[in-house]
Each structure stands twice: as C-alpha cells, then as structure tokens.
Amino acid sequence: MVDRELVEGIDQQIVSETQRILTEWVGLGPGLSLAEKQDQIEREALRLQQMTEAAAEMFEAQALKEWTPPGQTPSFRTKVQARESAWRQAREMVLAEELYSQVTPDMKQEKEAYIAGLDQQIQQEYDRAMLARESDRWKTQNVKPNTVAVRVVDRVWMHKSGAFKALAESLIAQRIEDNQPVPATPHDQLAEDLEAMILDELQANPPDDPQLPF
C-alpha cells in the first residue's frame, strides 16, 4: 500500500488525470479488486508527482536565472512566481510524456467507434419504444431527450429533486412524442396529476440518491 501521507500530498490534477487515463483509456487489471486498482492509480500518481518535483526544481532555477538581473538577489515575489510557473511547466511536461502518450491513435479510434455504436443502439431503442407507443417508457427514461420537456419541467417543477426532474423530463418528452398535452404552469390540474404519477414511481423504485438523476 502507498503511504497515505505521500498520497495526500500529490497534486490533485496529477491524481485526477492519472485516474482518468488509467480507467478510461489504458485500463487496469480486470482481476484486481477496487482497493488494488486504487492502489495502482495512487502508485502511478506518486511516480508522476516525484518526476514533476524533480523537473520543477530545474525549471525554477532556470526561471530565476532568466528573471533576475545579474548581480541581484531575486525578490520574494519573483521566487513565488518562478516556483508556480516551474510547477505548471513541469506538470504539463510529465503528464504529456508519461501519461497522455499512453493513449494511442488506435485507442482513440476504437473508443470513437464504440461510442458511435452505442449511440446508434440507444437511438434505435428510442425509436422502437416510440413506434410501439409504450405507455411506461418514461419510467426507464427510454425517451429521446427533448429541450422543450426540460423547459416545461424547469417551469412547472423548479424546486423538485434531481430524481423527480429526471423522470418528469422523460414523462413530458413522452407526452410530446405522443401528442398529449403538457402542463403550462405549476397550478394546472394536469401538473398535479402527472406529479402524482412521478411520485408513485419514485416510491415504487426509489433512487439511491434523490438529488441525483439516476
């Protein structure tokens, strides 16, 4: 296990970028537990942190030499600016050379093809459910996103939870697809009727976090 004090001292951008590249692009061992995967991420982030520290020292010395007139001692402000600039430069260089370089063009093409195929499958399922006029498709959010539905929900149920609004947007989008009326204000009777339907669904299938949209 990585020393927790060392991990806590790692630059947050290095940590987040290491996690993003390793999980979204390079991949971690499929047989590893969550704890083992996290340990692998932290070890790599710590390695990059140490490389950044070494490079930053070199860049800082170079900046102080360039920014300070001959024979003068650099001011405190100059030292601070040199250190901050050196760290940014070193971090950018290390991430580019050690981390981003692992993402090959083939990886990018493969991911783009996967996303395109996934989008096509989702669109086909939207179309199938709409053509079948499945009355409950809003409950699984199997409805094509609709900007008008978003505006209606913001106007009618502005202060509701994230989970409620997500279901409401699907329900309103479905009603628009099916040429059914939608409420115009929070005081419409239709708004009360639809709200009751949404609350019943949330009670039957409660989300893990009501503030999140699923």
- Segment 69-104, tens digit of pLDDT: 888 999 999 999 999 999 999 999 999 999 999 999
- What does the pLDDT read at residue 212? 56
pLDDT attached to residue 213: 53
Question: Quick count: other Cβ atoms within 10 Å of Cβ 58?
Answer: 12
Distance CA 35, CA 19 (A): 13
pLDDT at site 210: 58
Q: Tell me what pLDDT residue 187 has.
A: 93
User: Residue 71 has what pLDDT?
Assistant: 85
At 5, is the secondary structure helix, strand, or coil? helix
Tokens (6 digits) for 99: 């981390």
**Angle (CA) 94 101 81, round 5°:** 25
50: its two tokens? 């140490």
Other C-beta atoms closer than 10 Å to the C-beta of 140 total: 14
Half-sphere exposure of 158 (CA within 13 A, CB side): 5
- pLDDT below 70 — which residues of the chain? 1-4, 209-214
Pair of tokens at residue 124: 């086909």
- Distance, in Å, from the CA atom of 166 to the CA atom of 160, rounded to the nearest integer, reads 10
pLDDT of residue 116: 86
Distance CA 118, CA 123 (A): 9
The answer to whether the beta carbons of residues 164 and 194 sit under 8 Å apart is: no
Question: 10 Å Cβ neighbour count for 157?
Answer: 20
Tokens found for residue 9: 């001292």
